Structure 1
Amino acid sequence: MRIGVDGSKIPHEATDTPFQILDKAKNYGLEGVYFRTILDVSPTLDHGLLAEVRAHADDLGLYLQMGLAKVNPYAAAEAPAVRRLGDGDYTRGMVKMIEAASQGAGVTDLWVACANYQKGLPGYHVFDRFRTDAPWADQLVAIEKFLKLLAPTAREHGIHMNIETHEEITSYEVVRLVEAVGPDTVGVTFDCANVVVRGEDPVAAARRVAPYTRATHLRDFVLGEQDGTFGRVFATIGQGVIDWDAVISILHAANPELPLSIENAGPTLHLPIGLDDPVWTALHPDLDPAEVTEIRRLATAYARQTAAGERPSIDTVRATEYNGEKMVLESADFLRSTLNRLGLRSFETAH
């Protein structure tokens, strides 16, 4: 289990090339980069450039993963670059991205997601799950149809489209999509901090998705109220409430070579979790009372530690100035020590 970083979140200048981002990851002592989309590497899908990036990653001894785009037709308008690649056909644009990843970069594990986070919208409307013009059940049907449309191309090129457990979708729904389309072409990108927003315990969610997980977005979180609303705030890995021994052990048992990609993010975002709201719970038919109880337990334990002065309050966490480099390095150190302690890998140095 090599430790790497999300290529869109590693601290870098907007003008940095993919080569410079790989170099930075190596200098941080990391072992791979998960570029969010292949368009971040080459907006024109230049096969020659992609091959050079692949060779550079290999020379540095880094794993290399990339991504495609959203696989929800209801969100296709939010990715105009993909449609342009296909000369007006979003599907053709995605096919060209799959072909370029396979033939140019030699990358066969590709991130996909089902919606964007709608920054700036109020309350639950930050999640496409709560759209009223396109009910979530209709979106899931459309997502499955679109994945099945892409599946023959994925199969031809030996790639997996790895659906992220993003904030709008439950792990139950992700697993159903994998099994409906076929695990030979669809897998999971497990983001262990997103599942709690859908009322899921990260450990239980890890058990659900582990058999299909081929990529990760790892970050931690704390839970608490802000302005009377219960929700999640990101934290450095090991400084939140996730039981990392359990999560890592579950993932390792299913895939001992699974890359562990840190997705660092600032702590200012407080996303609502409506465990006591009938409007919210009505859109979560798979909600497990045992997992809801565990989320409440985690929040109560953290509040107790805060009151005892053992942990910073959620207000303090949110007010802490974001330092991406510090978050990446501290997260990587924690993951190394966890792997060491669990006897899953041995590291000679901290970096």
Structure 2
Amino acid sequence: MENAPLTRRDFIQRSALGAAALSFGKMPDIFKTQPMGIVVHSYASRWNAKQPSTKYPGFTNAAELMEHCHSIGAGGVQTTIRDWTPEIARKLRDQKEKWGMYLEGSIGLPRNADEVPRFEQEVKTGIEAGVTIFRTVCMNGRRYENFHSPEAIQEFKKNSVASLHLAEPIVRKQGVKLAVENHKDWRADELAALIKALGSDHVGVTLDFGNSIALLEDPMEVVNTLAPYVLSTHVKDMGVREYEDGFLLSEVPLGEGILDLPKIVAICKKYNPNVNFSLEMITRDPLQIPILTKEYWPAMEVVPAEDVAETLRMVRQKKFKTDLPTVAQLSADARLAVEEQNILESLAYSKKLL
């Protein structure tokens, strides 16, 4: 994709191509029973949109999101549970059953004992809607931006363990699963050790295919380390290019980036044949990963030197064919158009080539 804004004609033509790809032949085995779904963050611009749009109206609740995802051929939705009303929960269950879609919830961990009732109520609300897998994170943000000392990382780890020990009895009692994402916070071996130490059949991993590149990890090593615990996924492809302070990292439509998606999907299916594959195609400007600055390193002392060298080598060898796409310069409607286009192209890829 080029940086120039799409014209209306360009978008219509490319959307038509995406729609045509969605209709190709029979689906491959891994998506035969359930097409790929969509993570709410794929609609970062459209979800609770601040600016009105006639062509791309914002989604004000999860039911509207699910209805749209069904209309474009997605197999399910992973979305936030916070603020669901009983009416929304009932509508989601009805939609899920009517359309044969899956529904995964996204939920915040209890930070202390006072938040346990809130967490339990959200789990119960999700169950009312038909949710059995709840994705969560231990931290909002990025390790190298949030923490500035090894001591801060240790405090984060201690608090995360405490939160999971508060959450685990709830999901166990309710008979559901909690899936912790590798969210640019844990390196893969750290997260695997955390899940193993917790020792619960009800807590595993949301495996994000691309996040851990920002922590200087080889994507396939991440997959092989975390796939034994996989309960849900964030499917994405990643583009990389160098910049003066390190490298740029960006979600790109599936098939355009550096990840071996068929192999990653096969590994996930090996360990969990029933795992859902949920697209997280975030349309935004590239993230700057400033590994050549001193600010990056206080929270990253665990990284071996060879991982730094291998990551830089990968960036140089597999750099994106053009400048990475940007959207900050686009109008609100043009950004919404690119967002929808990226999702349609990724759905088409999943049905044709995965």
Say if 2:38 and 2:74, in contact at 8 Å, map to a contact too: yes
AA matched with 2:117: R
Q: Distance in 1 between matches of 2:254 and 2:278?
A: 11
Say if 1:144 and 1:180, in contact at 8 Å, map to a contact too: no
Q: Distance in 2 between matches of 1:299 and 1:133?
A: 27
Say if 2:248 and 2:289, in contact at 8 Å, map to a contact too: yes
Say if 1:232 and 1:273, in contact at 8 Å, map to a contact too: no
Q: Distance in 2 between matches of 1:268 and 1:8?
A: 14
2:81 to 35, 38, 44: 38
Task: Name the SS of the counterpart of 2:283 in structure 1.
Answer: coil
Where does residue 9 of structure 1 map in the other structure? 42
Q: Distance in 2 between matches of 1:290 and 1:238?
A: 28
Say if 2:63 and 2:88, in contact at 8 Å, map to a contact too: no
Task: Name the SS of the counterpart of 2:318 in structure 1.
Answer: helix
Q: Distance in 1 between matches of 2:317 and 2:150?
A: 39
Task: Name the SS of the counterpart of 2:228 in structure 1.
Answer: helix
Where does residue 221 of structure 1 map in the other structure? 238
Say if 2:179 and 2:204, in contact at 8 Å, map to a contact too: yes
Where does residue 202 of structure 2 map in the other structure? 185
Q: Distance in 2 between matches of 1:132 and 1:293?
A: 23
Aligned ranges 1:127-138 → 2 under 5 Å: 128=146, 130-132=147-149, 135-138=152-155
- TM-score of the superposed pair, with normalisation by structure 1: 0.77
Task: Name the SS of the counterpart of 1:69 in structure 2.
Answer: coil
1:320-339: CA deviations, max 9, x gaps? Answer: 85411111111112222332
Say if 2:182 and 2:206, in contact at 8 Å, map to a contact too: yes
For residue 185 of structure 1, report the CA deviation from its aligned partner: 2.0
User: What residue ranges of structure 2 are gaps of 5+ in the alignment?
Assistant: 1-30, 48-56
Where does residue 65 of structure 2 map in the other structure? 21
- Do structure 1's residue 49 and structure 2's residue 49 form an aligned pair? no
Aligned ranges 1:100-179 → 2 under 5 Å: 100-102=125-127, 104-117=128-141, 124-125=144-145, 128=146, 130-132=147-149, 135-179=152-196
Say if 2:103 and 2:130, in contact at 8 Å, map to a contact too: no
Where does residue 270 of structure 1 map in the other structure? 287
Task: Name the SS of the counterpart of 2:139 in structure 1.
Answer: coil
Where does residue 331 of structure 1 map in the other structure? 346
2:323 to 302, 313, 316: 313
For residue 236 of structure 1, report the CA deviation from its aligned partner: 1.6
For residue 106 of structure 1, report the CA deviation from its aligned partner: 2.8
- Number of residue pairs matched by the alignment: 303
Q: Distance in 2 between matches of 1:302 and 1:331?
A: 20
Distance 1:336 1:183, change over 3 A: farther
Say if 2:178 and 2:203, in contact at 8 Å, map to a contact too: yes
Higher RCO (CA-CA < 8 Å; seq separation 6+): 2
Task: Name the SS of the counterpart of 1:135 in structure 2.
Answer: helix
Where does residue 276 of structure 2 map in the other structure? 259
Select between 151-160 and 218-227 the one with higher mean Cα deviation: 218-227
Identity %: 21
For residue 17 of structure 1, report the CA deviation from its aligned partner: 3.5
Q: Distance in 1 between matches of 2:132 and 2:205?
A: 13
Distance 1:327 1:183, change over 3 A: farther
Q: Distance in 1 between matches of 2:262 and 2:317?
A: 18
AA matched with 2:100: G
Where does residue 345 of structure 1 map in the other structure? none
Say if 2:184 and 2:215, in contact at 8 Å, map to a contact too: yes
1:165-219: CA deviations, max 9, x gaps? Answer: 1022222222122112224121111111211011111111011110111111122
2:105 to 66, 69, 89: 66
AA matched with 1:140: K
Select between 142-151 and 243-252 the one with higher mean Cα deviation: 243-252
1:71-118: CA deviations, max 9, x gaps? Answer: 5x3xx8xxxxxxxxx9xx32221121122222x123121011011127
Distance 1:273 1:337, change over 3 A: farther
1:28-61: CA deviations, max 9, x gaps? Answer: 11111111x212xxx1x53453133112111111
Where does residue 343 of structure 1 map in the other structure? none
Say if 2:248 and 2:286, in contact at 8 Å, map to a contact too: no
- TM-score of the superposed pair, with normalisation by structure 2: 0.77
Task: Name the SS of the counterpart of 1:297 in structure 2.
Answer: helix
User: What residue ranges of structure 1 are gaps of 5+ in the alignment?
Assistant: 77-85, 340-351
Q: Distance in 2 between matches of 1:286 and 1:159?
A: 33
For residue 280 of structure 1, report the CA deviation from its aligned partner: 4.1
